[in-house]
Amino acid sequence: MENKTQVLKPIKFSPKIGRDFNSTLKKRVRAYFKDNNISKYANANMKIKTIFMITLYLTPYFLMLTGVVTNIWLIAACWAVMGLGIAGIGLSIMHDANHGAYSKNENVNYIIGRIVNLVGGYAPTWKIQHNILHHTYTNIHGYDEDVSPAVSLLRFSPADKHIPIHRFQFIYAWFFYSLMTVMWMTTKDFQQLFRYKKMGLTKTESANFGKLLFELVTSKLIFYVYVIIIPILVLDIPWWATLGFVLMMQLIAGFILAIVFQPAHVVPETNFPVPEKDLTIENNWAIHQLETTSNFAPKSTILYWLVGGLNYQVEHHLFPNICHVHYKKLSKIVKATAEEFSVPYHSEPTFFSALRSHGKMLKQLGVAPKAEATS
């Protein structure tokens, strides 16, 4: 991509390389659902989780506003729990819905996907960044915005420009991760919406840009009113304390979201492919996903439930339109097929080992490339 403000020039993946692997894997996954007579969409467990995560977010809010909780320390705890709720909604609910994986009914996916607006984000821009750019062009610098951060203090790809302060990013990056949802609720969605319009990507959500802008402004106003204005007016605590608690809520949510997503792609084992001059990748798209993605903690049932199956990132990237409740079973099929075709299948044994690998990668990327170091 020549410039982020120009129309996106798509990258082409090889239709021949790895074709047998791709077709075999898809055939086996289809057979799994057919042979077991189950739907690829949400099951009862997913619906229970949906109720739980929304309740986790809304209950503390109403406990504060109705005067059930009045002690300032308990109010602080309520905002902290709401931060956990935001992360749970982001990882476990709206994520599947915005991939069209929650229900075969698109109206259901639309409504549940728009829950992200309720917690300060904006579904259309999230879908463009995540579904189109990240999932299609995983780990390709200049296309995948997850490895092309707007903040120059962070370097997530070997193709990104190196500056001296990057050698300390393995220390300070964790703080910036906390700012993820703070940016959501303030400037990021507006910047993305206008940038994606220039890139020709907003048409994937609506041909009417004015409609998208109106929805964005309206959703932000609703969020600010119920999260900031109403609590300031109702809660018997200083206004600045409420602002501080709202910030704390967002920092908690942002940090959790970041430490779940980052170890899935920015680790030493994953690749960061560079397109040829004609914007082609000499690889099959499915194999590309396996080479740029890593699982973690596959044996942790609790983590699997809490993070919306995103510890199985490989399965998610291969089958984003399948609800995450099925990833654990699908992982056995994917891993066996990958081994059969000698395709890499990256996986860290625990969540903490994944975080350690990510920290190691941050440190590696903080070192100046040899050409720069010797110049």
pLDDT of residue 239: 97
The burial of 284, by beta-carbon neighbours within 10 Å (0-12 exposed, 13-18 middle, 19 or more buried), is given as: buried
Q: What is the pLDDT of residues 11-64, one digit of tens each?
A: 999 888 888 999 999 999 999 999 999 999 999 999 999 999 999 999 999 999
Task: Reply yes or no on whether the pLDDT at 318 is more than 70.
Answer: yes
Q: What is the pLDDT of residues 144-195, one digit of tens each?
A: 999 988 789 999 999 999 999 999 999 999 999 999 999 989 999 999 999 9
Q: What is the pLDDT of residues 120-137, one digit of tens each?
A: 999 999 999 999 999 999
Q: What is the pLDDT of residues 322-340, one digit of tens each?
A: 999 999 999 999 999 999 9
Q: Is residue 373 part of a domain?
A: no
Residues of the chain with pLDDT > 90, as a percent, come to: 91
Task: Reply yes or no on whether the pLDDT at 372 is more than 60.
Answer: no
C-alpha span between 348 and 332 (Å, rounded): 15
Instruction: Please give the model's pTM, rounded to 2 decimal places.
Output: 0.93
Q: Is residue 4 part of a domain?
A: no
Q: Is residue 99 part of a domain?
A: yes
Q: Is residue 375 part of a domain?
A: no
Supply 326's token pair.
Answer: 């099925």
Task: Reply yes or no on whether the pLDDT at 98 is more than 70.
Answer: yes
Domain of 101, in residue numbers: 12-365
Q: Is 137 helix (H, G, I), strand (E, B) or coil?
A: coil
Average pLDDT, the chain: 94
Predicted confidence band of residue 217 (pLDDT cuts 50, 70, 90): very high
CA angle centred on 129, ends 108 and 292, rounded to 5°:
110
Q: Is residue 7 part of a domain?
A: no
Q: Is residue 374 part of a domain?
A: no
**Cβ distance 291 to 112 under 8 Å?**
no
Q: Is residue 81 part of a domain?
A: yes
Task: Reply yes or no on whether the pLDDT at 2 is more than 60.
Answer: no
Burial string for 254-264 (b: 16+ CB within 10 Å, else e) reads bbbbbbbbbbb
Q: What is the pLDDT of residues 53-79, one digit of tens each?
A: 999 999 999 999 999 999 999 999 999
Q: Is residue 1 part of a domain?
A: no
pLDDT of residue 16: 84
pLDDT of residue 151: 81
Residues 6+ apart with CB under 8 A from 300: 311, 350, 351
Single-letter residue type at 280:
T
Q: How many distinct structural domains can be found in the chain?
A: 1
